[in-house]
Amino acid sequence: MTEVRIRPRQVLILIIVFIVLLLMVHRNGKRTCDGPDYLQAMYTQQQSDTLPKIYAITPTYARPAQKAELTRLSHIFMLVPNLHWIIVEDSNSTTPLVRNLLLRAGLENRFTQLNIKTPQEFKLQGKDPNWIKPRGVEQRNLALTWLRANVNVDRHAIVFFMDDDNSYAVELFAEMSKIKPGRVGVWPVGLVGGLMVERPLLDQENRVVGFNAAWRPERPFPIDMAAFAISMDLFIKYPQAVFSYEVQRGYQESEILRYLTTRDQLQPLANNCRDVLVWHTRTEKTKLTAEEELIRKRKRSDEGIEV
């Protein structure tokens, strides 16, 4: 039988290769954002009481998919105890559909239901593309008025503009909770602006120095509404910070942020803006041709049923 001799140098090389492989496996398997164990510990009752409250402002309006959209969002609120939902309906009064949904989700003490109607001249008509007119201006401004009148200014809180058709990872709200007083936190958004991801660009010191936006990159803040959240104290400090109809298309984000911060003061989050935790999705317009035919016959498939 042939004797196999392994020299000490060969043993050392094998050990080094083994250690390198272990490190590569560990690095590739490591989550870039805080994972489920972290979130579970963070959101225990004792811990959640010390977190800043996040006020999520959601403009909404009556349409066939409204309940489905809001139901999906409500699941985020069930998982994140420091979230308070401000839903502002584009209507002359609040509706039982929205209130019942909030109550069924177990959010009795964690929502505010408001309403204000968009002026007729700013409402989308017929086949108007959804970008032709500014949306949610009245609703977001009413929510800001409510916040300024009702929030305890001595406790740190966060404000986030949460559209009802986007997709959100629960980790996003853990990131939001890291926003410091007097700061605006920013992160990437997926599937927006004609890109796979729009994101802030950072220098070697992890400061925001620009953005990779392809659409109207000359905007002061060329980011999506889902790309930032704001420390509540800034809205108290700058009461003139509101949304406006008198701005160019795509400038609503820049309009609100210009009152509150500058680029160099933005606080990058989500693994220094390398993790995507929110996506600019949109539900396809509901096709109800058969339902319309029933209505012409004075019938409905949902008679006595809330859909």
Q: Tell me: is residue 135 an annotated ligand-binding position.
A: yes
Q: Tell me: is residue 282 an annotated ligand-binding position.
A: yes
Q: Tell me: is residue 163 an annotated ligand-binding position.
A: yes
Which candidate, 52, 82, 235, places its Cα nearest to that of 145?
A: 235
Burial class, 99, CB count within 10 angstroms (exposed 0-12 / middle 13-18 / buried 19+): middle
Q: Tell me: is residue 199 an annotated ligand-binding position.
A: no
Q: Tell me: is residue 7 an annotated ligand-binding position.
A: no
Is 253 annotated in the active site? yes
Q: Tell me: is residue 164 an annotated ligand-binding position.
A: yes
Q: Tell me: is residue 90 an annotated ligand-binding position.
A: yes
Angle at Cα 204 formed by Cα 202 and Cα 209, nearest 5°? Answer: 30
Q: Tell me: is residue 281 an annotated ligand-binding position.
A: yes
Angle at Cα 198 formed by Cα 194 and Cα 203, nearest 5°? Answer: 145
What is the C-alpha to C-alpha distance for residues 204 and 220, in angstroms, rounded to an integer? 22
Q: Tell me: is residue 36 an annotated ligand-binding position.
A: no
Give the pairing of strands 167-168 and 278-279: antiparallel
Cβ–Cβ under 8 Å, residues 124 and 96? no
Q: One of 138, 175, 253, 255 is an active-site residue; which one?
A: 253
What is the C-alpha to C-alpha distance for residues 186 and 94, in angstroms, rounded to an integer? 32
Q: Tell me: is residue 280 an annotated ligand-binding position.
A: yes
- Which amino acid is located at 155 in the chain? R
Cβ–Cβ under 8 Å, residues 213 and 199? no
Annotated binding residues for Mn(2+), written as ranges, equal 165
Q: Which residues are marked as active site? A: 253
Annotated binding residues for UDP-alpha-D-glucuronate, written as ranges, equal 59-61, 90, 135, 140, 163-165, 280-282
Annotated binding residues, written as ranges, equal 59-61, 90, 135, 140, 163-165, 280-282
